[in-house]
Amino acid sequence: MAANNSKAGQTDKCASVHVRRVIAYIVLILISFLCLFWFYVLFINATRSNAELGGGFTPVPSNHFIENWTNLKNGTLPIFNGMLNSLIISVLTATLATYFSTMTAYAIHAYQFKAKKFMFTFILMVMMIPTQVTALGFIQLIGKMGLDNTAIPLIVPAIASPAVFFYMKQYMDSTLPLSLIEAARIDGSGEFKTFNQIVLPLMKPAIAVQAIFSFVASWNNYFTPALVLHEDKKKTLPILIAQLRAADWLKFDMGQVYMMIAFSIFPVIIVYLILSRHIVSGVTLGSVKG
């Protein structure tokens, strides 16, 4: 009798797990559809003319893709310069943010000093300051330094990235034992060698996650570049897209706008595909503190 009850309980448990798994798959499929549907709408609209777009949405592609691309490419806006500017700024920003934030997190994690807790709290407090609050002082500072209308003020401040630092610190708490660092020191490894050859390889999943987040944030950034960059050839794609949308009604072409938006997201998709294999493990381990 007890054996029958045990088998019945196991059967009910397996059925419950199966139901939860089916529900989870249904929810994930729905969320994936909602996320990907807007990309589909974007690429469909990039194939339509301004007049067709004014008539409402249709799920069927049109035949104006080449026309929209030709008009955009031969227009007044330097879209290839914008792509190059965005790539340079975003790649350097992601590189600096991940490397130096990981180094800062390593210092807080591996060293013992009096101001350790204060420094950790102070960095998190900096994360709470909105960019808009410091924008006026930032513009005045770069003007006095002669850096206005250059990409330097958009790249160098990425060294100080509190959000990336916090994520890296949590990830190190989960995956980087202090005994490993002590063993490297006993073996005669210098601090920079330990960091670059031992710590960084262990942090690859977290670095991949934060690299793509930093890249996308920099790629989509409009506020600061709009304040700093003034010449069209030096502007990034988000600024050029805003200028294209702000054209007067005689020059306004919604097909070109959709084409330019589609053109601007290809690098983001490529970066995601390159780093995607690290993202799941990085998010999972980084969110759990051991």
Mean pLDDT, residues 17-24? 84
**CA–CA dist 6, 10 (Å, integer):** 6
Domain ranges of the chain: 2-66, 68-286
What is the per-residue pLDDT for 186? Answer: 84
pLDDT tens per residue, range 222-270: 888 988 998 889 999 999 888 887 765 556 778 888 888 888 888 888 8
CA distances from 232 to 27, 76, 241, 243, 251 (A): 44, 10, 12, 10, 18
Whole-angstrom Cα Rg for the chain? 25
User: Between residues 144 and 282, which one has the greater pLDDT?
Assistant: 144
Per the rule left: phi > 0, alpha: psi between -120 and 50, beta: everything else, 160 is: beta
**Spatial contact of 245 and 257, defined as CB atoms under 8 Å apart:** yes
**Dihedral over alpha carbons 132, 138, 140, 144 (to 10 degrees):** -170
pLDDT tens per residue, range 155-187: 998 888 888 898 888 888 888 888 888 888 888
Which residue is associated with the tokens 């002669």?
Answer: 146
**Spatial contact of 125 and 163, defined as CB atoms under 8 Å apart:** no
Two tokens at 142? 């770069």
What is the per-residue pLDDT for 95? Answer: 92
Mean pLDDT, residues 81-107? 92
Average pLDDT, the chain: 83
pLDDT band at 119 (very low <50, low <70, confident <90, very high): confident
| 290 has a pLDDT exceeding 70 | no
| 287 has a pLDDT exceeding 80 | no
Q: How many C-beta neighbours within 10 Å does residue 100 have?
A: 16
Poorest-pLDDT segment among 103-107, 118-122, 243-247, 286-290: 286-290
**CA–CA dist 105, 203 (Å, integer):** 11
- Helix, strand, or coil (residue 203): coil
Q: How many C-beta neighbours within 10 Å does residue 152 have?
A: 15
Indicate the fold that domain 68-286 takes in CATH.
MetI-like fold (1.10.3720)
Mean pLDDT, residues 193-220? 87
Closest CA to 123 of 101, 154, 99, 155: 101
Residue 257: phi and psi, rounded to 5, are -60, -50
What is the per-residue pLDDT for 280? Answer: 60
What is the per-residue pLDDT for 288? Answer: 45
pLDDT band at 13 (very low <50, low <70, confident <90, very high): low
Which residue is associated with the tokens 């549907």?
Answer: 37
| 289 has a pLDDT exceeding 50 | no
- Helix, strand, or coil (residue 206): helix
What is the per-residue pLDDT for 241? Answer: 87
